[in-house]
Structure 1
Amino acid sequence: DFADRWNPILDVFDQVSVRYALEVHPSEIAYDFWTTQRTLEAVNRRPAFGINFDPSHLYWQMVDPVAFVYEFADRIYHMHVKESVHVLNGRNGILSSHLPFGDHRRGWDFVSPGRGGVPFEKIFRALNRVGYEGPLSVEWEDNNMNRDQGAPEALQMVRRLDLTPSNVAFDAAFASKD
């Protein structure tokens, strides 16, 4: 059913050189490692269909976002720099009991980038290793912080961690030429 609906759309995208990036998100058909794999396979890994990589959603589900980058490197067309934090204390569950964001009884929540548990430096280094050159966009959500403080702080973090990859290996002088 998914492929039947999407393949005609992807045919048009192919004709006009458009690539679509589905956000891997719990309300989508692809929300974790295995569902992303199945979704891509359903459309035969067509180049027009890729991923909007948002590590916050993987992190709160306890899926390793760095491993996700390596597995789906060729499919990451866009990245949301968005942060989440676990607040598991024996009473709060990962499904968060349908409580509103910002409620202290949730098992996880969104926080300003750099203030949670998402390993952004490892993610940015992994993206460099796989040759990602696509856009990064800050998706800022934090119900317990003023956005006038948090958004500029998030931008500072991105600028600090968006490392330019090296064009030389530190040990290249020892490489054998024969």
Structure 2
Amino acid sequence: MKNKRALLESHGLKCLAIGNHLVGQAVCDLIDERHQSIVPAHVWGDGSPEGVRQRAAQEMKDTARAAAAFGVKTVTGFTGSSVWHATYAFPPTSQAFWDKGFADFGQRWTPILDTFEAHGVQFALEVHPTEIAFDIASAQRAIEAVKGHRRFGFNFDPSHLGYQGVDYVKFLRTFTDRVFNVHMKDVWWGRGDGTVGVFGGHTSFGDPRRFWDFRSLGRGMVDFESIIVALNDIGYAGPLSVEWEDSRMDRVHGATESAAFCKRLDFPAAAGAFDAVFDKDKQARVGG
């Protein structure tokens, strides 16, 4: 741990959060052969679905311990979901069916969050299609499922909300005390040739037929100016973490321009009202 810290510091860098999305995905998912490619061999084991879920849960607890040992207070990640496959609600899906999914999430993640609590670390779910929370309504339900556990919050990423039609600025103003980390990632939507809808048409990213696709920061449709204003309004003081994905662009070029975009966009919150300068009493105190 000390050597890794020293390596970062030697390059003038800091680690403000660590992520464990892939293992977290396996905690609640209906496990299939795809998961073998994203989890470590010791988590996959013999591939029995419940065994994978249990080992993934243990790995997430160990992630909290590792974060604490490394001096990091936030872990970002996924939770998986046992009911995502029923999002479209056909065959007809009752609220009782979805309730079981949220109950499963609460049962599996509360002990994990208790470990986070024991080590003073936050877990920030990246609200995202395929997760237990993928919009504002499902995020509220997820909080309820873990009984408002104080270590459960969100890794805000507007790129997963905008193309769904979710008000991503409202998300920030709804969960003011649960935004633990921020991904700066752009997306555009309403594009393509009309043959592929919001569900993606089983096409690959970068396919020109797609209705939506991820873009390099500043080249999509996300209103980052409003996001920065909202983040300042709610008192967020954490990192702005660039998550870069753009199938059409060179990665080094994209990372370079995205870092510059963030630095140009960000600004410190005001110390007071702009018109306070006209307060004569304050002027007199300053002058005296």
TM-score, length basis structure 2: 0.59
Q: Return the structure number with greater relative CO, CA threshold 8 A, min gap 6.
A: 1
Q: Is the 8 A contact 1:88 1:107 kept in 2?
A: yes
1:88 Cα deviation (Å)? 5.5
Distance 1:176 1:5 in 2: 59
Conserved 8 A contact 1:83-1:110: yes
Which residue pairs with 1:157 in the alignment?
261
Q: Which residue does 1:78 correspond to in 2?
A: 181
CA distance in 2, matches of 1:96, 1:71: 28
1:42 aligned partner? 145
Say if 2:245 is the partner of 1:141. yes
For residues 8-53 of structure 1, the C-alpha deviation after alignment (integer angstroms, 9 at most, x for no partner) is: 1111111111110111000111001111110011112211111010
Aligned to 2:79: none
Instruction: Tell me: CA distance 1:88–1:69, structure 2 relative to 1, closer, same or farther (3 Å).
Output: farther
Q: Helix, strand or coil for the counterpart of 1:127? A: helix
Q: What's the CA shift for 1:168?
A: 2.2
- Whether the 8 Å CA contact 1:82–1:112 is kept in 2: the answer is yes
| Native 8 Å contact 1:96 1:105 kept in 2 | no
For the aligned residues, what is the CA RMSD? Answer: 1.6
When Rg is computed on C-alpha atoms for both structures, the one with the higher figure is 2
Contact 1:19–1:49 (8 Å) recurs in 2: yes
Gaps of 5+ in 1: none
Post-superposition offset of 1:175: 6.3
CA positional deviation for 1:176: 10
| Secondary structure at 1:73 match in 2 | coil
Q: Are positions 1:32 and 2:135 aligned together? A: yes
Structure 1 CA distance for aligned equivalents of residues 214 and 235 of structure 2: 28
Q: Corresponding residue for 2:196?
A: 92
- Is the Cα contact below 8 Å between 2:126 and 2:155 reproduced in 1? yes
Amino acid in the other structure paired with 2:129 = P
Aligned partner of residue 113 in structure 2, secondary structure: helix
**Which residue pairs with 1:112 in the alignment?**
216
User: 1:9 is matched by which residue type in structure 2?
Assistant: I
Whole-angstrom CA distance in 2 between matches of 1:176 and 1:17: 46
CA shift for structure 1 position 102: 0.3
Q: 1:140 to 1:158 in 2, by over 3 A?
A: same
Q: Is the 8 A contact 2:228 2:266 kept in 1?
A: yes
Cα drift, residue 90 of structure 1: 3.8
How far the C-alpha of 1:116 sits from its partner, in A, is: 0.4
d(CA) in 1 for partners of 2:273 and 2:223? Answer: 24
Gaps of 5+ in 2: 1-103, 282-288
Q: For 2:180, what is the secondary structure of its paired residue?
A: strand
The 2-side partners of 1:164 and 1:127 are apart by: 10
For residue 121 of structure 1, give the secondary structure of its aligned residue in structure 2. Answer: helix
State percent identity of aligned pairs: 51
Inter-partner Cα distance in structure 1 for 2:149 and 2:265: 31
